[in-house]
Structures are given as structure tokens and as C-alpha cells.
Amino acid sequence: MISHCREVYPSEACGILAGKDGRVHKVYRMTNAENSAVSYLMDSREQLAVMKELSNQGLDITAFYHSHPYADALPSPKDIDLAFYDDPFYVIVSLAHKDPLIRAFEIKNGIVKEVEILTDS
């Protein structure tokens, strides 16, 4: 996910994290149809293909991710407005500092709550 964000810099990267029971098993790199440094829109055909694949594999969308090339890892007003799904988390990777900063959020009905990210060591 971080390498994807770095590769498309200075544009925003976007993608889907898929898995089961809140654990991520697969990263799907998506095309930012807006090719913008300040916003993203997943390519709808790619998104549909990924959702079909997830259904066939019995996986869930654990989270949607995108990068903020020049801003902190906090949801923008547009990010909040476009948070259409209640169950997946929303992960933001900030590249505004020397080291990437990754934060995850639950966004429901315009209410934003940060959630802890746990990794296997």
C-alpha cells in the first residue's frame, strides 16, 4: 500500500484492502480516475471487477485506502462526504512528512472515529 502511494506521487493513490474478520489478506491497487494531487475517484470498472473477485473468493472489503501527498492523514470534508460504506474502514497514508503516516478511521453518517491499526510482528 505504501509503495503504491509512493509510485503515483504526486497524485493521490487509492485502493481496496480485502480480507476476513478485519484482517487484511490482499491489497488491490486501483486507478485514480481523477489523477489528482488533492482528490481521488476509483475507476468504476476496476472497482466492480474487484468486488466480483472478492465475492467469488469469500473475502470482504476491510478498508478503502488513499494517500494525501501533501496533507496530514486526516479525512478531508470530501473524504467524509464520499464515505458511502459503513462497514469498511478508511485508511489514509500521508506522504507529507519524511516517513509515511498511516491512520485508519470509521466514518458513519459524517461522524469520524479513529481506529487502531494492529500489525503482525
Domain residue limits, the chain: 2-115
Write down the catalytic residue from 7, 12, 34, 46: 12
Phi/psi of residue 96, nearest 5 degrees:
-75, -10
Quickly count: other Cβ atoms within 10 Å of residue 20's Cβ. 12
The band of 120, judged by pLDDT with boundaries at 50, 70 and 90, is: confident
The pLDDT confidence band at residue 119, using thresholds 50, 70 and 90, is: confident
Grid coordinates of 36: 489528482
Neighbours of 57 (CB within 10 A): 12
Q: Rounded distance, CA 12 to CA 35, Å?
A: 7
- What torsion do the CA atoms of 69, 73, 78, 84 make, to the nearest 10 degrees? 120
Beta bridge partners of 113: 106
Mean pLDDT of 100-116: 97
Superfamily covering domain 2-115:
Cytidine Deaminase, domain 2 (3.40.140.10)
- Rounded average pLDDT over 8-17: 98
Dihedral angle over CA of 78, 46, 24, 118, nearest 10: -20
Catalytic site includes residue 46: no
pTM of the predicted protein model: 0.95
**Beta pairing partners, 27:** 17
Measured distance CA(30)–CA(21) in Å, rounded: 22
Nearest to 43 by CA among 14, 85, 5, 9: 14
Looking at the predicted structure, is the pLDDT value of residue 121 above 70? no
